Chain A
Amino acid sequence: MRVLGRRLSLYVVTAWVAITVNFLLPRMMPGNPLQQMIGKATGAVTPQQVLATKLAFGLDLNQGLWAQYVGYWHQLFQGNLGVSLTLAASVSSVLGQAVPWTVGLIGVSTILSFLLGTFSGALLGWFRGSRLDSVIPVATFFQAVPYFFLGIVTVLVFGSTLHWFPVQGAYSQSVIPGWDWGFVASLLRYGQLPVITIVLSSVAGWMLGMRNMMVTMIAEDFVLMAVATGLPRRKVIMHAARNAVLPSVANLSLAIGLVVSGALLVELVFNYPGVGDLLLQAVLNEDYPLIQGIFLVITLTVLAANLLADVFYFILDPRTRVEAAV
């Protein structure tokens, strides 16, 4: 458990850093842009909402920095992230609607991409030196393509040219959101192309990492031993792959941040109603409370996902448990 404890404390420190950065940024910038924005937005926003935002951002300038900081934490624990200046609703309620879309989209694509990449990487590693090696440069190319550019291309090819998939939004305009079959079917249909895009962009990383580990693993004695005992080839590959996959799983928690960063932009391309799309709107409208709320929620979600990945690794690799027992 010590390993997990250390990771947990890292995430707690990271969360603290992220929150503090979030607190300090608007105060460090010249001319207090947030104050100006609130000045502009007073028509659309009620005085109570302005007050709530000022509280959340400690804009009561008569207070010292420390008192503002304490006040900020106080507001945070009450779930007050301020008010979106353009949507005239509290940041937490706006985010509450967007987060499930993003978590669903990115969660599904990351799991798919990890499984697919690891599986194909294991095969590529085992059959190294064969024709399959020609996949490597292609995978490298896909790894270098920005997610959103791949999104634009898939929209062009599969959407506006071939008309295979719908490309705008998360579900058809003609269905009413609700847990009935019509809505779920529409959800799955509209989700396909964004998921394919994210998987295509991220799968190469897992694949190449797994291949390299597999190539290294094959030279180990235990694999030679497994072959010598006459195990069927399929079992030997599984045996080697199970050992090679550990670094991939260990990297999972580090890679989540990168994948999330890229995937947020895929939402943009597809007008998917998640956090990424919201972030773009907020940036365009200079809606600072919303931008900062989104940053905070994304960071905390990524940290939670990191912790999950670490627990998964802890379960998979007995060595981390032995170390902990000593």
Chain B
Amino acid sequence: MSAVRLPRSPKVLVGAGLVAFFAIMTVVGPLLAPYNPSATNFDANLRPSATHLLGTTALGQDIFSQLMVGARATMIVAIVAGVVATFFSIAVGVAAGYLGGRADDGLSLTANVFLAIPGLPLLIVIDSYLPAGGRSNSFVIGLIISLTGWAWGARVLRAQTMSLRNRDFVEAARIIGESRFRIMIFEIAPNLLPVLASSLLFTILYSIGAYVTLAYVGLTSTAVWNWGTMLYWAQANNAELANQWWWFVPPGVCIALFGTGLALMNFGIDEFINPRLRAAGISGRVRRASGLPRRPRLGFTPVARPGSVRASKAGAR
């Protein structure tokens, strides 16, 4: 297994870079915050300056500190929800795909029901009944979000499992007498990794959107700083009508950039799974270097990759 097979398009690198940036922000963000994000002892509505990198709110709070401190809660919820939901997806999707028959009918029905119920209204209903202690607890919120976010992954994993189920190597394992559980974990699961990774990224993307939305609606504790709470306060003070862009643009852009990072990484995985998309993603420079036409011809799937071009040239020399 050489590392060359991992997609190395600029899209994936940019995506991974963005995700890494926000991962670091999650860890060190609260340490970098210059002030207490809730302290209201500054002048109100200051524009960004050297003392207040992103200005202050109408209540006189430092926005940069809120952004840095808020990163952690936002990420924790997104990751808890993403991981728990993916765990559910694997359990339901792989079992349904592999077992088939009645078990498949039941599990697929469950997944489809969860897909058909609009997630956000359900989240809002559940969340509105939570006591204050639950609303301020990132793990509780993460768990509830995972409840509405697992079904899509389960569906995709089920389809992939079904296509693997009757391959020769699985058949062989069955003949050897491996147990069903062992076949699912050791034979099928490793082949699901790309789909799994894609589903995890997608679920984290969903979770972060759901959490920020809940916070924006005012359904998470306003005492816990996250990017959604920042938007909640900005909206509550009509920042968008007062042209206070420095208040709500930073959290929104952070959410969008993190989401873009995840989606770009997902592109890489898609291209890894579907070589035709990968071929379409070859840049003009690489295509010229490898002697491919500027636009791929119809009916053909060029297979040159940046790595392979360099490798063949080195070989010729």
List the count of A-B residue pairs having beta carbons below 8 Å apart: 182
- With known contacts A14-B113, A224-B298, A283–B255 Cβ distance under 8 A: no
On chain A, the residues within 8 Å of B256 by CB distance are: 141, 144-146, 149
A303 to B245, CA, bound (A): 38
The distance from the CB of B69 to the nearest CB of chain A, in whole angstroms, is 19
**What chain B residues lie within 8 Å of A298 (beta carbons)?**
118, 121
Q: Residue-by-residue, is B110-139 near A (CB-CB < 8 Å gives 1, otherwise 0)?
A: 001101111111101110110100000000
Q: Are B124 and A283 in contact (CB under 8 A)?
A: yes
B residues near A, CB below 8 A? 11, 14, 109, 112-113, 115-122, 124-126, 128-129, 131, 205, 209, 212-213, 216-219, 231, 234-235, 240-243, 245, 248-249, 252, 255-260, 262-264, 267, 270, 274, 276-277, 280-282, 284, 287, 294-296, 298-301
Partner of B125, one of A160, A224, A269, A291: A291
Binary interface encoding of chain A residues 227-263 relative to chain B, with 1 for a CB under 8 A from any of its CBs, else 0: 1000000000000000000000000001001101110
**For residue B277, which residues in chain A have a CB less than 8 angstroms away from its CB?**
212, 215-216
Docked Cα-Cα span, A223 to B296, in Å, equals 14
Residues B240 and A155 in contact, CB atoms below 8 Å apart: yes
Complexed CA–CA distance, A254 and B114 (Å): 11
Q: Which of A268-298 contact B (CB under 8 A)?
A: 268-269, 279-280, 283-284, 286, 288, 291-292, 294-295, 298
Known: A146-B212, A215-B276, A291-B128. A17 touches B113 (CB 8 A): yes
Instruction: Please report the C-alpha to C-alpha distance between residue A153 and residue B276 in the assembled complex, in whole angstroms.
Output: 37
Contact pick for A153, options B11, B235, B249, B270, CB 8 Å: B249
Interface flag for A176 (CB, 8 Å): no
| Bound form: Cα–Cα A254–B131 in Å | 32
Which residue of B124, B245, B274, B277 has the most chain A CB atoms within 10 A of its CB atom? B124
Determine which of B216, B260, B287 lies in contact with A144 in the assembled complex, contact meaning CB atoms within 8 Å. Answer: B260
- Asked if B129 contacts A33 (CB within 8 A), the reply is yes
Question: CA A284 – CA B282 in complex, angstroms?
Answer: 51
Considering only CB atoms, which chain A residue lies closest to B118 in the complex? A257
- Tell me whether A257 and B125 are in contact (CB under 8 A): no
Say yes or no: B252 contacts A10, CB within 8 Å: no
State the Cβ distance, B122 to closest chain A Cβ, in Å: 7
**B129 closest partner in A (C-beta):** A29
Distance A149 CA – B248 CA, assembled complex (angstroms): 8
Q: Looking at the complex, which one of B116, B129, B260, B263 makes contact with A10 (CB distance below 8 Å)?
A: B116
Does B115 contact A149, Cβ atoms closer than 8 Å?
A: no
A306 at the interface (CB under 8 A from B): yes
| CB–CB B295/A129 < 8 A | yes
Closest chain-B Cβ to A94's Cβ sits at a distance in Å of: 16
